């Protein structure tokens, strides 16, 4: 009898031990380190596991730059056929860049991954079409999203790390048919998904925040309502869970905890938050811009086996570049060694504004109606002409790119027109009665995506 009881107790203890192991399996064994990032007592500490950091470090080492080539000699566009993006580079510079891209994206397949080796000008391979557009996207990030990437910039290697397809991409979740059981539809949550660090939270925080952001219809990233009940505070628990899901993704992608961007005294207060929070704010909008302006328009170019379960194209999120590091490649400034990726060519957007006595044009940043620095200096000729001609009438028209929701873009174009009107009123003393705001009858914007030439306001003197 006693032996049976002993056996039962042994089984019970064994089960208890197994249960304890299972419960502790999700914990990290000590030691873990912490760095204080704020005032004492605020709980602003970064906790990190040195073993995880050590394991990630080799994957975040930037490769040595390809030796620079001479800018002298004939241009690539004059020697090679069908060079649409980097044609202003010298042949040597262009060849160097192609060599670098091959090492970054297709080190095993070589040039044949993107090119028809029998005819390098041929565009029949989808990989070449995509690579060309991704080069433009990289230039766009470096030129127009300094608010997030700063002077460090990015290259193709930042995301690809020697892989044809970046290791961290996402597709829209596969449709989940309502089951026949009592549980019914999971409503997009309550699965321990890797997209939210295995938390039981909504497992698609990307579509509402960094995909729909490209159409200006993204959900508010908010937990606390901005008005008191009962005057319209409609921030639901479910919306809070979606916000937490996005935060879990960002924390996992950067290898940091909440205090990297927030002051734990009050998570909602911007004026008490570290500067990284502003960078993250721009980063979310940058990724939304890239997904809407560059990735989605390429969907038709990809074969079916490269699309997601819903037929959608692969898209980027925070992990695509960061890959577990607080800064991609721990802040290695690769882009400075490839200056062709730091510019967008000789497009008018490289100049804030330009003018003649008959009119002028002002170019704006992505999603911005703020007058760019140097715009007034660029309009000097026009301003001088208006000061000498006190009866001239002005017609001002605002334009927008094709990326995003039409109604929001039209409002943005109108606000840009207002900004130009205001500077003309203040700098040249133009009376508002001499100004006509005219909505363009036909906006010659790009057909798809984000084009710097389309983000403009035109002024005509009549």
Distance between CA 322 and CA 333 in Å, rounded?
A: 14
Q: How far apart are CA 301 and CA 287, in angstroms?
A: 20
Asked whether residue 399 is domain-assigned, the answer is yes
What is the tally of structural domains in the chain? Answer: 1
Nearest partner of 211 among 251, 252, 246, 235, judged by Cα: 246
Q: Per-residue pLDDT averaged across 326-351, rounded? A: 79
Work out the percent of the chain whose per-residue pLDDT is above 90. 35
Token representation of residue 31: 């030691």
Note the pLDDT of residue 109. Answer: 95
165 lies in a domain?
Answer: no
Lowest-confidence pick of 228-237, 372-381, 415-424: 228-237
Model confidence at 12, in pLDDT bands (50, 70, 90)? Answer: low
Give the tens place of pLDDT for each residue, 132-162: 999 999 998 998 888 899 889 999 999 999 9
Least confident among 91-95, 289-293, 313-317, 328-332:
289-293
In a domain, 353, yes or no: yes
What was the pLDDT predicted at 127?
Answer: 95
State yes or no: pLDDT of 22 exceeds 70. no
Burial of 287 (0-12, 13-18, 19+ CB in 10 A): buried
Confidence band, pLDDT 50/70/90 cuts, at residue 323: very high
Which pLDDT does position 3 carry in this prediction?
64
Please write the tens of the pLDDT for every residue from 235-293.
677 778 888 999 999 999 999 999 999 988 888 888 888 889 999 999 998 998 898 88
Could you tell me the residue range of the domain that residue 433 belongs to? 348-461
Alpha helices in 255-398 (DSSP H): 276-290, 318-322, 375-378, 380-388
pLDDT tens profile 52-75 = 888 888 888 999 998 999 999 999
Nearest-10 Cα torsion for 204, 207, 210, 215: -170
Read off the pLDDT of each residue in 4-31 and give the average, rounded to a whole number: 60
357 assigned to some structural domain: yes
Given a contact cutoff of 8 angstroms between Cβ atoms, the answer to whether 303 and 313 are in contact is: no
CATH of the domain at 408: 3.30.1330.60
Does the pLDDT of residue 23 top 60, yes or no?
no
Please report whether residue 276 resides in a domain.
no
| Whether the predicted pLDDT of 234 surpasses 70 | no
Q: Which residues of 407-437 are buried (b: 16+ CB within 10 A; e: fewer)?
A: eebbebbbebbebbbebbeeebebeeeebee
Residue 253 class from Cβ within 10 Å (0-12 exposed, 13-18 middle, 19+ buried)? buried
pLDDT band at residue 173, thresholds of 50, 70 and 90?
confident
Instruction: State residue 429's pLDDT score.
Output: 84
pLDDT at 78 over 90: yes
Which residues neighbour 318 within 8 Å (Cβ) at sequence distance 6 or greater? 249, 250, 253, 254, 283, 284, 287
Residue 437: its pLDDT value, please? 87
């Amino acid at each position: 009898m006693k032996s049976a009881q002993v056996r039962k107790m042994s089984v019970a203890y064994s089960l208890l031990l197994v249960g304890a192991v299972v419960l502790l399996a999700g914990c990290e064994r000590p030691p873990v380190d912490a760095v204080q990032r704020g005032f004492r007592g605020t709980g602003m500490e970064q906790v990190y596991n040195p073993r995880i950091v050590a394991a990630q470090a080799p994957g975040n080492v930037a490769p040595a730059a390809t030796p620079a080539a001479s800018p002298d000699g004939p241009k690539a566009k004059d020697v090679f056929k069908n060079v649409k993006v980097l044609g202003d580079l010298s042949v040597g510079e262009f060849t160097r860049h192609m060599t670098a891209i091959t090492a970054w994206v297709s080190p095993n397949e070589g040039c044949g991954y993107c090119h028809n080796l029998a005819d390098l000008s041929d565009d029949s391979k989808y990989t070449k079409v995509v690579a060309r557009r991704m080069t433009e996207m990289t230039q766009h990030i470096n030129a127009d999203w300094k608010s997030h990437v700063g002077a460090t910039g990015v290259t193709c290697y930042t995301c690809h790390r020697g892989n044809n397809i970046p290791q961290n991409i996402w597709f829209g979740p596969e449709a989940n048919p309502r089951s026949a059981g009592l549980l019914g539809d999971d409503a997009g949550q309550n699965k321990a998904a890797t997209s939210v660090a295995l938390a039981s939270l909504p497992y698609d925080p990307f579509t509402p925040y960094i995909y729909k952001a490209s159409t200006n219809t993204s959900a508010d990233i908010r937990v606390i309502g901005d008005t008191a009940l009962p005057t319209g505070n409609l921030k639901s628990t479910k919306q809070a869970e979606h916000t937490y899901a996005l935060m879990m993704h960002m924390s996992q992608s950067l290898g940091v905890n909440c205090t990297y961007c927030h002051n734990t005294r009050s998570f909602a207060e911007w004026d008490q938050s570290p500067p990284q929070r502003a960078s993250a704010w721009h980063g979310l909008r940058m990724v939304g811009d890239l997904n809407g302006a560059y990735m989605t328009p390429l969907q038709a170019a990809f074969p079916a086996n490269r699309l997601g379960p819903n037929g959608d194209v692969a898209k980027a999120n925070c992990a695509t570049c960061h890959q577990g590091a607080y800064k991609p490649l721990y802040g290695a400034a690769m882009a400075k060694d490839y200056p062709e990726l730091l510019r967008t060519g000789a497009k008018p957007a490289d100049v804030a504004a330009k003018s003649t006595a008959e009119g002028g044009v002002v170019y704006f940043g992505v999603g911005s109606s703020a007058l760019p620095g140097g715009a007034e200096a660029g309009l000097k000729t026009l301003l001088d002409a208006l000061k000498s001609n006190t009866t001239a009438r002005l017609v001002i028209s605002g334009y927008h790119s094709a990326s995003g929701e039409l109604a929001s873009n039209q409002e943005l174009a109108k606000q840009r027109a207002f900004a130009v009107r205001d500077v003309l009123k203040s700098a040249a003393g133009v009376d508002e009665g001499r100004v006509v705001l005219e909505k363009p009858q036909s906006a010659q914007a790009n057909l798809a995506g984000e084009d710097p030439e389309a983000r403009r306001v035109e002024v005509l003197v009549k």
